[in-house]
Structure 1
Amino acid sequence: ITTRARFGRAPTTLCPPKAFVQREENSRTPPAELLLSWAHGYNGSASPSSLHWISANEFVFPVAAIGVVQSLDPPKQRFFRGHSKEITCLTYNAARGICASGQSAPHSGKPFICLWRADDCRLQTVLSFHDAQILSLCFNAEGTLLFSMGRDDAHTLAVWDKLLPPQPRGRAEEQAFAASLPIVRREPISRVATGKVPAFAMVAMKTSTTSANGSSSTQFAAYDAGGAKGFGVYLKFWTCVESKASKETIVELLGKNGIFPSPGPRQVLFCSWTSQGQCIACGDDGGFYLFEGNTAFSRKICTGSLGFGIEVPNQCYLFGGKDAVIYFGDLRLPKQEKSRSGPGGKGAAVPSNDGWLTALHLKDMGGSLACVSARLRLNSAAINPDGLVLIGTADHHLLLVHAGRRRLVRVLHAAHSGEVLALCHHPNDDLRLCLTGASDGTVRFWDLEGHSPVVGRVIDFCREGPWWPAGRVTYHAGSARGVFSMAFRSSGELLAIGHGEGTLRILSFPDLQPIFETSTSKKREPLSDIKFSQQGDILAVASWDQAVYIYHLSGTLNSTVVSLQHVFRGNSSSVTHLQLSADGLTLMTNSKDNQVLFFDTFSGERLIGQMGIRDKEWDTPWTCPCGWPVIGMWAANKGFDGSDINACCTIVSESGALLASGDDDRQVKLYRFPAVAEDQGFRAYDAHAGHVTGVYFARVPPAAPPPVAVSRGRAAGAHVAPAPVQPKQTRAGWQLLSVAGDDHALLQWDVHRLLPNEEPSATRQLAWQETRSRSAAAEMQLGAQPRPKERSKSTDKASKSQPSRAVTAAAASPSPWATDVDADPPSTEFRPSSRATRAAEAPEGGLRAEVRRPPWGLLEDLPVHARSGAGGVPPAGVRQRGMQGGAQRATSDGAAGGVTAELDHHVSHISSGRPMALDLAGMSTAARDELTHHGIQRGQGSTRFATPQNSVTGIRPQSAVMSRRE
């Protein structure tokens, strides 16, 4: 018996196992869900003003399509996941406790701005107006106005008011209020075309000014942030004046260009405001410019570019250069222009004649920064009341510095600067060690239990000389064009790395010394996949030159002999994935054209028939996107091309056998395994901002909680110490790791088992576009408020206002985590301890600060972590679904951030030649509405896709004065 399957557009014949029986439950959605527990990484490409402290302990930043709110002690993360594309800018208003985030333009439709509460990451309002990417955002001091800049041809500046819906008055209104969120608005109160030069960042003054006649004014600065090359320097000060006349409020926007001394900078890289209402501007010429009004006084800080400048306590300035040098300066500057040569890249502390400036290298500020392998280009900063400074870099690193002590506390986040192409996990589950490789030629290590990049280990294959001291970064300089694949030997003592120019390297672990190196492909094609056999004696290497290279390994670790045994050819396209059998004697290959071939690794021959291997036991986990056990994965995604599913991985857990996949729709999907049904159910999750290139299930070892003290009986007045009760071992769990190509994020998902009658932790939410077809009366019944009428005081007339739109939303719940930032520098002595020992030593009901070393030991300084012994599973929050999600049928939900999609069982037959046709017979109303919203027109029992029509909004002239009725 054979099965005719279709992988994308490629039909293939496969043989199922002889004893396999298809059951109805195999096609259902999996009895488990994914809960996002931690997001590693930081988006240094976002607007420089996207890093904010929420309190002395919490801060917010963007990564991928997620807004992350992270606390330092205890370390926790909660997530806002209401965007469909990468977050390009984020701002926060402390007066109202709300965040605003904008995104890049989707493939169809408009980008949008989300306003959400920082305390629970719940979406409140959606602003949809700009036709292109949202460049920058900022609030006024009171949080009543929001300014947004779009990347359309005129770079329109929009002003928004009435940002939040009215709060409920009593419990009777709470349910109706929750049902009315989010409120959607599509017309700002004012808009101005700013010109040809884009402003990639905006920052508002910390206070607003109120005049005697009752009018209030807000001043904010818009600047190019280094993103508008070729246009010249751009810094413009805008003043937004609100004045009341009778029952109307007049809003007026006035702009003035900043005036720089000559010679001035070519670009303004960063701006901030002092407590005295002065604007600090940092230029690419290394100059620091202090503006009073729109006129600047300058001071030379360094010879290179000056990345940021902020005011810190004790009348000081804190500057950061693009050469990873931090400068401390006195606040009391002379008002005449002065010029001096700064220390530049050398980093020596060279004070000026008046002694106001000192400079320190990051690597000389204590702590450790050995998780990077190049000079960090500092480009953003934010300070909290305790003097802790968050420093973001263009290299996607997030650092914590203590300004008062002038030392580096820790590296909070790190990321690759290139596209992440490789993901693997150490075979020893107790190490909780993950590796990622990228097109920038680096390999990074991640501590999954400590939720941090491993300090002290980076492999760099591209740079010729180390910037950091020898021993902190392992350099293997050469002509490597990125890291495409990685794999550990089953013993964990060897690490194989495949490069983009066809080089295969084998390193020892953990010392990362070279064992073997060869150029496998004469055409210098990338090595797309690497697999070790379970026995560790066979290494299979897939190449884009349409060949698979089989190496034999023998000898000990110190004298490993690697020899080429076979070269398999026969694939009609580049080989992308490999799968070895459990005994290592059979190899399966996938290629770019979705061809599936089988080879004998012992004889070196290709296996023509499949009947002899249909019951072959394959190595775990299964990682080939094409094969009989995963044909239902393609049936569930009927519109996919053959290259749209990039990776998959399987586990056998307490929830049964599960299959996870990553695709070009930026989604992670979860299925039952084997997934072979024609109507295969699944759950889908949004969080990544790029095509998902790797997924991997990692086992979480069981951990013993700290012992519980129980008091024994005692006589009156006698003192008896409590007897510790030995706790039971907690059950081992699983986590899914996922990486995407270019969103600079590594995500950890907890695999949560669903009980028989348990609903997924999140209630399904409709995307706000689905309400477009509803009438205004229906919207008013949901609690939406109509837009007030507007009139213009100038010749620029306001466009007709549109009523707000509302959709269903659910409440979000927080999630737990922890770290000590103010502890003394840790000892460098390495004293290993087991997980159970660490848990037993922790005080009851509290956290214990400890030095957490990478499990395989290092000799460098390390940050301090405070943990609770056993990492808890965070409760699920409610996620606001991506606003521009793809046309998928969903009946279950995503939580404060992910989409959980269950496939309605209405998929065409696997071998059908109509991949875009869907049968609507018996489909649920919610599923039909979902399809109709995404441009699928209803027909007689089938559907067809239609192209949506987008309207074009006009642009107002440079000067605009708007009014609105109270």
Structure 2
Amino acid sequence: MDTETRDASYNEEEGTVRFFLRGRPIILHAPSPLIEGFDLSKVNPAPHTRLKLEWVYGYRGRDCRHNLQLLPTGEMVYFVAAVVVLHNVEEQSQRHYLGHTDDVKSLCVHPNKLLVATGQTAGHDRREGRSWRLNPPPDRNAPEAEMWPHIRIWNSVSLATVAVIGIGEFERSICCLTFSKADGGTLLCAVDEAPDHNISIWDWQKSHRITETKCSADTVVAAEFHPLDKNSIVTCGKSHINFWTLDAGGTLYKRMGIFENRDKPKYVTCLAFTGQGDVVSGDSNGNVIVWGRGTNTISKFVRGVHEGSVFSICALKEGSIVTGGGKDGRLVQLDASMNPTGVEAQVPEHLGGVRCISEGRGSLLVGTTRSAVLTGALELGLSAAVWGHADELWGLARHPTLPQFATAGFDRLLHVWDSMSHSTVWSKDLAEPLQSAGFSPDGSLLVVGCVSGRWLSLDVETREVLTSYTDGNEPIQVVQFSPNGQLLALGSRDNNIYIYQVADDGRKFSRVGRCSGHSSYITHLDWSEDSQHIRSNSGDYELLYWNAGLCRQIQQSSSMRDITWATTNCTITFDTVGIWPEGADGTDVNGCCRAHEAPLLATADDFGKVKLYTFPASQPKSLCHIYGGHSSHVTSVAFLHDDSRLISTGGRDTSVMQWALV
């Protein structure tokens, strides 16, 4: 008897499920034992197991500023993707504020040091070609309204949300945030990354906007309330520094900083305030400028403190100033009279330039442009407390026997992480963008696929690159060893799968052949448990089967219905029908992974979500648990060797998240 649901139909005679992806029919064969009793209308329940975010690797230093502070709890607060991280370096612990639905772009701490305000960008499906002001959410309390750019104010001890402001009021994202200081924090100032870079002032406790005006047609990189002068704000960015006054009637007045005949910089890049209330700014020419309190004129000009831009200035409580260079990576101390003290520190080149400096307890916190956070003192040196990737991230591989995993990104970095200590076991710059990674079954080898079509094998113990080969000139999207470790399959964006024989303990690979037959790029592949067969998916939603030893396609896909597969990485199989929502585009799910022992299946999707299903998810109606934290596309998921944790990687958000199974 044939049965049909809204999105799929089942032919009992042939034992096949048919459903559509972007109008394309997909036909999948049920395993023989299921053919007779298979019922499409049954609902696959969500699993009893759930995920809890345990650790976030990375920091958003590539393009955000003023996003690293120390709280009285002893925790650093910073953000990456849609997560605000509260990280205690001494206790090696993290807590996470998960109220945001997309990339957090700004952060500030209330003068009471208890409340934190964070601003986010427009949600994933709201970014392109929409004006939020012309199309405000119909109900600002509806869950989908929180996809609009907005500000959340929350308690840093309980992590409870205190206020949500600005839904439907901002256009793009909130790039700058600052609480008023001279009046104890009753006001909040925000700058929208819209074309006019509107600046708005809010009575945040009443969720009431007092005023709004155009800040600058050019980029705005910083906005700060004056610590001593009530209703006074300073903003800076491309070609400007502006001094604002909020009058009793709620109107903002602007005075532009006057550079007179001195070098007007392309960018005024950062701001700080001295204990006396003078404004100190850094610029793209490497200069530091002091603006007299209450004026828009220069009182002191210190030329060439850095080579390239001054990215951050921190005024220390004892009166000195520390500046950080984006290009030269130097930290330079100036005394209260703006003279260099001779005390300096250097950020190691591989960690990037200085993005943000703030004062800790007797130490400095330094965020870098390559997603690291350093702690320490200028005299004694700095050490990295947080590492991460600094560019798009797709490569993820779990170690077969240890609580470790590897990530490989477009930033050329290969990191091997320890999930227990939450630190890198080792890292290597492989000098070109990386796309994929895979461990050998015994864990001694790590193969990395590059964007160029080159691929490398490394000895995990010595970290030495053993071999290098090239197959085509397109990215190597998937690398996977056969379960017996004797063969290696590489799926390329050039539509082919390349098979290699592994010899000499991985020091030598000999090409067996090429599996060609897909009409689009390879997205996923799985080996059979007996290492004889491969199944693969492609960019046009095909599921093909191969004889690995002969590199020959098996045309009769019904003959493969009872093969036992070692992994479930392919997103289009009989066991994964239920991960595709109705009307899904075939690119909506980027990856999936089956647990080793538990009946669990995790997926990575294009909307920043990690989902957990009961395996197999062969019913079109499969319920799941859904977890946010990533923004943009989640690129990969992998259960660790003992199924105690799930690792997920974000694409453009560059983050790595570790979830405990509870």
Amino acid at match of 2:346: H
Question: Residues 818-837 of structure 1: matches in 2 within 5 Å?
Answer: none
The corresponding residue for 1:649 is: 593
Q: Secondary structure at 1:374's aligned position in 2?
A: helix
1:150/1:74 CA distance change after superposition, 3 Å = same
1:835-865 CA distances to partner (integer Å, 9 max, x unpaired)? xxxxxxxxxxxxxxxxxxxxxxxxxxxxxxx
Question: 1 CA distance for matches of 2:424 and 2:107?
Answer: 24
The equivalent position to 1:601 in structure 2, one of 529, 538, 548, is 548
Counterpart in the other structure of 1:272? 272
What is the distance in 2 between the residues matched to 1:191 and 1:611? 65
| Structure having the higher Rg | 1
- Which blocks of at least 5 consecutive residues in structure 1 are unaligned? 166-184, 210-216, 243-249, 335-354, 364-372, 463-479, 701-732, 753-966
Q: Percent identity?
A: 26
> Out of 295, 299, 302, which is 2:302 matched to?
299
- What is the distance in 2 between the residues matched to 1:699 and 1:550? 25
Aligned pair partner of 1:690 in 617, 624, 632:
632
CA distances 1:666-710 after superposition (whole Å, capped 9, x unpaired): 11111010001121111111111120101011145xxxxxxxxxx
Q: Distance in 2 between matches of 1:501 and 1:2?
A: 42
Partners of 1:96 and 1:143 within 8 A in 2: no
CA 1:268–1:27: 2 relative to 1, 3 Å? same
Matches of 1:7 and 1:487, distance apart in 2: 31
Matches within 5 A, 1:871-882: none
Asked if residue 576 in structure 1 is aligned to residue 518 in structure 2, the reply is no
SS of 1:449's equivalent in the other structure is coil
Residues 78, 46 of structure 1: alpha-carbon distance in 2 compared, 3 angstrom cutoff = farther
Query: Which AA in structure 2 matches 1:164?
Result: Q
Within the candidate set 518, 538, 560, 1:591 is matched to 538
Structure (1/2) with the larger strand percentage: 2
Residues 69/94 of structure 1: CA separation in 2 closer, same or farther (3 Å cut)? farther
Contact 2:345 2:381 in 1 (8 A): no
How far 1:46 sits from its partner (Å)?
Answer: 5.0
Alpha-carbon distance in structure 1 between the residues aligned to 2:482 and 2:175: 49
How far apart are the structure 2 equivalents of 1:606 and 1:132? 48
CA–CA distance in structure 1, aligned partners of residues 416 and 510 of structure 2: 28
Give the 3 Å change call, closer, same or farther, for CA 42–632 of structure 1 in structure 2. same
Q: Give the C-alpha shift of residue 375 in structure 1.
A: 5.8
Aligned partner of 1:350 in structure 2 is none
Paired amino acid for 2:325: G
Inter-CA distance 627–289: structure 2 relative to 1 (3 Å threshold):
same
For residues 888-940 of structure 1, what are the alpha-carbon distances to aligned partners after superposition, in whole Å with 9 as ceiling and x for unaligned?
xxxxxxxxxxxxxxxxxxxxxxxxxxxxxxxxxxxxxxxxxxxxxxxxxxxxx
1:317 is aligned to 321
Amino acid at match of 1:238: W
Do 2:43 and 2:621's aligned partners in 1 also have CA atoms closer than 8 Å?
no
The reply on whether 1:615 has 2:562 as its aligned counterpart is: yes
Residues 2-401 of structure 1 aligned to structure 2 (within 5 Å): 2-6=15-19, 8-9=21-22, 10-20=24-34, 22=38, 27-45=44-62, 47-55=64-72, 57-95=74-112, 97-106=114-123, 107-108=125-126, 109=132, 110-128=148-166, 129-141=169-181, 142-161=184-203, 163-164=204-205, 185=207, 187-207=208-228, 209=229, 217-224=230-237, 228=238, 233-242=239-248, 250-260=249-259, 262-292=262-292, 293-296=295-298, 297-300=300-303, 301-322=305-326, 323-333=328-338, 356-363=341-348, 374=350, 376-384=352-360, 386-401=361-376
1:602-751 alignment to 2 at 5 Å? 602-620=549-567, 622-634=568-580, 637-653=581-597, 656-699=598-641, 734-751=644-661
- Unpaired runs of 5+ in structure 2? 1-13, 127-131, 133-147
Q: Provide, for residues 475-494 of structure 1, a one-character-per-residue CA deviation record: whole Å limited to 9, x for no partner.
A: xxxxx4x2111111111111
Call closer, same or farther: CA 1:88–1:550 in 2, change over 3 Å.
Answer: same
Contact 2:596/2:641, CA 8 A, preserved across alignment: no
Please give the alpha-carbon distance, in whole angstroms, between the structure 1 residues aligned to 2:584 and 2:515: 29
* Closer, same or farther: CA 360–126 of 1 in aligned 2, 3 Å: closer
Counterpart residue number, 2:420: 449
Q: Deviations over 1:312-344 (max 9, x none)?
A: 24432212112121212222347xxxxxxxxxx
- Change beyond 3 A, Cα 1:502–1:157: same
Matched with 2:135 is none
CA 1:72–1:164: 2 relative to 1, 3 Å: farther
SS of 1:631's equivalent in the other structure is: helix
Which whole-Å CA distance do the structure 1 matches of 2:596 and 2:479 have between them? Answer: 23
Query: Whole-Å Cα distance in 2 between the matches of residues 53 and 46 of structure 1?
Result: 20
CA distance in structure 2 between the aligned counterparts of 1:266 and 1:678, rounded to whole angstroms: 56
Q: Distance in 2 between matches of 1:375 and 1:26?
A: 49
Deviation string 1:471-523 (CA, Å, 9 cap, x unpaired) is xxxxxxxxx4x2111111111111111111111211222222232222111xx
Partner of 2:141: none
- 2:524 match: secondary structure: strand
The within-5 A match list for 1:904-915 is none
CA offset digits 1:241-292 (Å, max 9, x no partner) = 44xxxxxxx4342322223360242211111112221212111111111221
Whole-Å separation in 1 of the counterparts to 2:234 and 2:446: 50
CA distance change for structure 1 residues 510 and 25 in 2, over 3 Å: closer, same or farther?
farther
Relative distance call for 1:699 and 1:505 in structure 2 (3 A) is closer
Aligned to 2:480: 531
Q: Relative CO higher for 1 or 2, CA cutoff 8 Å, sep ≥ 6? A: 1
In the TM superposition, residue 421 of structure 1 has moved relative to its aligned partner by 1.3
Deviates more, 1:508-517 or 1:659-668: 508-517
1:356-393, Cα deviation, whole Å (9 max, x unpaired): 33333234xxxxxxxxx636210211103x22211112
Q: How many residues align?
A: 614
Residues 330/37 of structure 1: CA separation in 2 closer, same or farther (3 Å cut): same
Instruction: Give the whole-Å Cα distance in 2 for the aligned partners of 1:550 and 1:54.
Output: 53
Q: 1:536 and 1:599 mapped to 2: Cα distance?
A: 18
Q: Which amino acid is the alignment partner of residue 450 of structure 2?
A: H
* In 2, Cα distance between equivalents of 1:56 and 1:610: 59
Distance 1:121 1:137 in 2: 19
- DSSP 3-state at the match of 1:251: coil
Q: Structure 1 CA distance, aligned partners of 2:616 and 2:454?
A: 35
In structure 2, what is the Cα distance between the partners aligned to 1:556 and 1:419?
Answer: 32
SS in 2 for 1:310: strand
> What is the Cα deviation at residue 561 of structure 1?
2.9
Q: Provide the C-alpha distance between the structure 1 equivalents of 2:630 and 2:285, rounded to a whole number of angstroms.
A: 36
Cα deviations across residues 82-123 of structure 1 (Å, max 9, x unaligned)? Answer: 222211111111326211111112343441111111112211
Name the amino acid aligned to 1:222: T
When structure 1 is superposed on structure 2, of 106-115 and 415-424 the one drifting more is: 106-115
CA contact (8 A) 1:530 1:541 kept: yes
State the distance in 2 between where 1:438 and 1:508 align.
Answer: 19
Q: Deviation per CA, 1:732-780: give whole Å up to 9, x if none.
A: x61111111111211111111xxxxxxxxxxxxxxxxxxxxxxxxxxxx
Q: 1:389 to 1:88 in 2, by over 3 A?
A: same
Looking at structure 2, the residues matched to 268 and 394 of structure 1 have their Cα atoms a distance apart, in angstroms, of: 18
Cα RMSD for the two superposed structures: 2.1
Shift of 1:651: 0.7
Summarize the Cα distance change of 1:89–1:256 in structure 2 as closer, same or farther, 3 Å threshold: same
Q: CA deviation at 1:193?
A: 2.0
Query: Which has the larger displacement, 672-681 or 89-98?
Result: 89-98
How far off its partner does 1:594 sit? 0.9
